[in-house]
Amino acid sequence: MEDAKKLEEGTLGSDTELVKEYHKQYSKDIVTTTTHSHDHEVVNKIERGDVIEQKDQNEPKKTQGGIVEEQAITMVKQAKKSKRIATLDAFRGLTIVLMILVDDGGEFYPRIDHSPWNGCTLADFVMPFFLFIVGVAIALALKRVPKINDAVKKIILRTLKLLFWGILLQGGYSHAPSDLIYGVDMKQIRWCGILQRIALVYLVVALIETFTTKGRPTAIDSRPVSIFTAYRWQWIGGFISFLIYMITTFALYVPDWSFIDETERYTVKCGMRGHFGPACNAVGYVDRQVWGVNHLYSQPVWIRLKACTLSSPSGGPLREGAPIWCRAPFEPEGLLSSISAILSGTIGIHYGHILVHFKGHSERLKQWMSMGFGLLIIAIILHFTDAIPINKQLYSFSYVCFTAGAAGIVFSGLYILIDVWGFRTPFLFLEWIGMNAMLVFVLGAQGILAAFVNGWYYGTPDKSLVNWIQEHVFINVWHSERLGSLLYVIFAEITFWGIVAGILHKLRIYWKL
């Protein structure tokens, strides 16, 4: 157990220890593949530190079973290098699970759906959790970049793939899973979305990481500020995005603007700066100017505000005398808010740098937890003093701090349970989903598989297998549409995709961009 722990933490380094670990892991194979005991004697000698004489010093000594001492060392070194932190996949899988839960269950339980405006609910953690784990993964994936040009090409290609899938799935072309139609009017196409925001954050953070790789330190001392100064360019990039967002938010003048709802034109009165309300904020103004009002999300969550409907916090018909902006479009994944989201990726890559440089569990957790709680305190102060409210739609600075702090604490908790204490089995389904996150996102979270199954119906489109299971196996059994729908999401969607991802993992099938 001690050697396994050393291997996990990266402290198992000497040849004697490496061969000892090799002997413990592969001794069964040695017994079955050799006919003499010479192989065991060789390994035992190396474990004891004995010198093994070789006739030819230029040629490694081979045993009768074909085992080479240097091969043993090399194999364990490779195993050490490829040691995968299970928490990464589990956290990514947890984020996908949360997305499915809130997207398909939030309609029946508004308290877990996106906050109509200020505040933070369960659904509001999904996007920053995605960006956080993207940052962590970048730090690990690019820690050894052989050629900068090759890395840049891969980054740009992956960014283009994310943009393509984002526009295809959320641009309006796909109507899955409810409507069995496809196609979008290019006058109304939505250019922004979840994957588009991830693409922008990934592009910026990954390029900074790549171009600063030559100045990357090989070791970090124990001072608290060392990890920050060693990767100052990453934090400079995050600070620049913060400045762009804050200056634009408070300084940009937002004039009156208009939109067309069905056939009638409405005008929203603004003429102000630094406004954090739904109607006249700088985030919405930038998107209207860059993309055009017709290309924004047509069903913003602010329609569930008390000012808009008597059914708040649930959705419902507009109340009499509701403000004009209740009918207007708004882009929750817009340009200015995505610039702010770069900071979420920057914080994530900082956690990844800690994972790379600090090998002990206690060192990592001390760095992670202190930053996580620090960010939470900053966010709470900003929110409750009304300086900068926590707001997902605006992706405010307090929202960045609150969700990044929560992501850091959750990540640390999973790390303790899975990678420190070894409670891996209860979280295997999260790991499996995390290893195939893109596939589950497209087929599950975006409803592509459900739409395909719904395409095979009997008589009328509502008589499909998916609808039949939801109605007869869950809703009718529990005599409650709310509870039945929630159980359907948990068992027929989340559990189902956990099993599918597990099977694909056993078959070594993964879909990665």
- Say whether pLDDT at 144 is over 70: no
pTM comes to 0.83
Per domain, the residue ranges of the chain are 86-245+335-449, 253-327
Residue 24 to residue 169: CA distance in whole angstroms:
49
End-to-end CA, the chain = 36
Residue 446 to residue 453: CA distance in whole angstroms:
14
Mean pLDDT calculated for residue range 411-424? 95
Tokens 């597990």 belong to which residue?
502
pLDDT tens for 255-274 read 999 999 888 899 999 999 99
Strand partners, 391: 118, 119
* 75 pLDDT tier (thresholds 50, 70, 90): very low
Non-local (6+) Cβ contacts of 263 within 8 A are none
pLDDT tens for 78-113 read 444 446 789 999 999 999 999 999 999 988 898 899
* 201 pLDDT tier (thresholds 50, 70, 90): very high
pLDDT tens for 429-461 read 999 999 999 999 999 999 899 999 988 988 888
Q: DSSP labels for 63-127?
A: PTTS-BHHHHHHHHHHHHHT---HHHHHHHHHHHHHHHHHHHHTTT-GGGSPPSSBB--GGGGHH
- Say whether pLDDT at 51 is over 50: no
Find out whether 94 and 430 touch, Cβ atoms under 8 Å.
Answer: yes
Strand 264-268 with 257-261, pairing = antiparallel
Strand 264-268 with 460-464, pairing = unpaired
Find out whether 101 and 112 touch, Cβ atoms under 8 Å.
Answer: yes
Mean pLDDT calculated for residue range 148-170? 93
In this predicted structure, which of 75-89, 303-317, 371-385 has the lowest mean pLDDT?
75-89
Mean pLDDT calculated for residue range 159-186? 91
